[in-house]
Copies of this chain bind each other. A is one copy, B any other.
């Protein structure tokens, strides 16, 4: 596929966990395609809809004002059947039956692995658009939905701080990100959290209740009784925030309260940044199809449009910013500071 003239019809799916901004990306695909006279078909429920031929035509009138809503108008799902060779073959047949020239999949790494699987059986152009709140895809500064998820986590943390300050208590807020601490570190920094437990910081030495109790007591020693808000990424503590709150309360003899945000983080009106990112990437995906590209993810790297081979997006590891980690854990850590001073005094 080397000529843009051959592109007459594009299919789009949203796949895997939904993310705020997916609708804005769908809209951008449709409006850009319409500009070039390309038809767009949306399959519902991700790859499952490609298998079951559950589709809808998408025109300007269907997408004009969806960019302020989260969720996805063509719904999302995970499909086990599609992962088999039979599934891949069937999907390819359905795409060909619809005379699809380009296939755009909006989702995370699981969805992109699906795209690779499809490529074994189908010859059209396949482009990935990074849509996941986890922000854990290599090849793009941010993924669609991540900024909104951080705002949502921040909003909850702000509210917790209000009441924590009023009552001088300890709170543990569990946020999403079982494999990547992006939501964790960003919401922690945005809210001045006293402590964060991220997958990236857990690898060397497992955290103990003892260490956490010591830190809480240290903060209280330095600042007087005061609020203490901990950000805990999911899957980083057995039993999660609920269990950890019980364990700390047992030791500290004052109330420790859990909060489990869960899928609240997937919803909510997308932020402007997510809508703009989704719009740029949706347009970019259509342009990539027109340029004859395939097997790549449309991204924004250092503010510019980029494309990255799909396997790299999950095989290469995007690194959490060490700068941010250092600010939160060292520079702003009241307890570390205390010890630091003590050491300095001894040296004199």
Contacts and interface: CB of A to CB of B under 8 A. Distances in A.
A35 B71 CA distance: 29
A38 interface: no
Interface stretch (A94-102, A118-126, A263-271): A263-271
B305 A302 contact: no
Helix, strand, loop or mixed for chain A's interface? helix
A331 B159 contact: no
A65 B159 CA distance: 12
B151 A271 contact: yes
A313 interface: no
Nearest to A222: B60
A273 B158 contact: no
A48 to B, nearest CB: 11
A305 B276 CA distance: 23
Interface string A171-202: 10000000000000011011110000000000
A60 B224 CA distance: 12
B166 A283 contact: no
Interface string A120-156: 0000000000000000000001000001001110111
Interface string A68-81: 11111001110000
